[in-house]
Amino acid sequence: MVIRSAKFITSLAELKDFPGRGMPEIAIVGKSNVGKSSLINKVANNGKLARTSAEPGKTRLINLYELNRQLMLVDLPGYGFAKVSRDEKQRWAGMIEGYLSGSENIRLALQLVDMRHKPSDDDVDMINYLRHYNMPVLVVCTKADKLSRNERNKAIPIISRTLAVQPWDIIPFSSVDGTGRDALLARLEALITPPQENE
Ligand code: GTP
Ligand code: MG
């Protein structure tokens, strides 16, 4: 898939404010600081589209980005960020769960995990939550640029086992050097191209 346009649509706190476009949605979930907003920028080839920060807890609302007028990328606040108050955490969890459980257009969830670490209990809870809603999930391992080829090869089976996902549903990704961008775009394209019938 070639990205011809990428546009910020809006920020919202509740699903009821979601602009009714009916496009296929891709939900992007993961711990604070894992690289969700950076992934959107890399996919869009626009470093300024989504706000990113070295400090966790940057994205505090649900942010919508439209790709090629065909797909909606949904950037969600991160979970597992220790430094916010309990009230704030609950508010974020409510936002994330309200969206994930309520939207009827989510066609794929991207579960992001930092490739350098074993997925956390929060990550396991999140992927199980997505499965509970029968959502197709792709695991995107971020910050792959920080690992050697050998370290990457070791990380995949650990992530695959911990999250109980098949290795072909795991994509090593780097928003710094572009690793995995084509592989991810190919999976996104499949969402908008109906499968060809065998003749
Ligand atoms: P919240 O909005 O706080 O939940 O974080 P986020 O998941 O959106 O993370 P964000 O994209 O803001 O990135 C967090 C930090 O990680 C920033 O300093 C990014 O530059 C850095 N980062 C993100 N992706 C990569 C990557 O693939 N490689 C490297 N080396 N750094 C990355
Ligand atoms: Mg963010």
Element (H, E) at 142: strand 137-142
Q: Are strands 62-67 and 71-75 parallel, antiparallel or unpaired?
A: antiparallel
pLDDT surpasses 70 at 6 = yes
Question: How remote is the C-alpha of 107 from its chain's centroid?
Answer: 12
* pLDDT tier at 85, thresholds 50, 70, 90: confident
Mean pLDDT of 174-185: 97
Residue 32 sits at the vertex; the CA angle it makes with 23 and 183, to the nearest 5 degrees, is 50
Residue 199: what pLDDT? 60
To which residue do tokens 């961008």 refer? 181
Site residues for ligand 1, CB cut-off 6 Å: 30, 32-38, 52-54, 56-59, 77-78, 142-143, 145-146, 174-176
Q: With contact defined as beta carbons under 8 Å apart, do 99 and 27 qualify?
A: yes
The answer to whether the predicted template modeling score (pTM) of the entire model surpasses 0.95 is no
Tell me the average pLDDT of the chain. Answer: 91
Q: Which of the residue ranges 24-28, 57-61, 114-118, 124-128 would you say has the lowest mean pLDDT?
A: 57-61
Average pLDDT of the segment spanning 164-189: 96
What per-residue confidence (pLDDT) applies to 195? 66
Tokens of 125: 């809870």
Angle at which helices 121-132 and 86-102 pack, to 10 degrees?
30
- At residue 145, the pLDDT reads 98
- Of all ligands present, the nearest one to the C-alpha of 36 is 1
30 token code pair: 């993961």
Cβ-Cβ contacts under 8 Å for 89 (sequence gap 6 or more): 81
Give the pLDDT band (50/70/90) at residue 36. Answer: very high
Determine the atom of ligand 1 nearest the C-alpha atom of 142: 27
d(CA 139, CA 113): 7
| pLDDT beyond 70 at 45 | yes
Percent of the chain with pLDDT over 70: 97
Band (16; pLDDT cuts 50, 70, 90)? confident
Distance CA 150, CA 58 (A): 32
Neighbours of 199 (CB within 10 A): 3
Over residues 83-100, mean pLDDT: 84
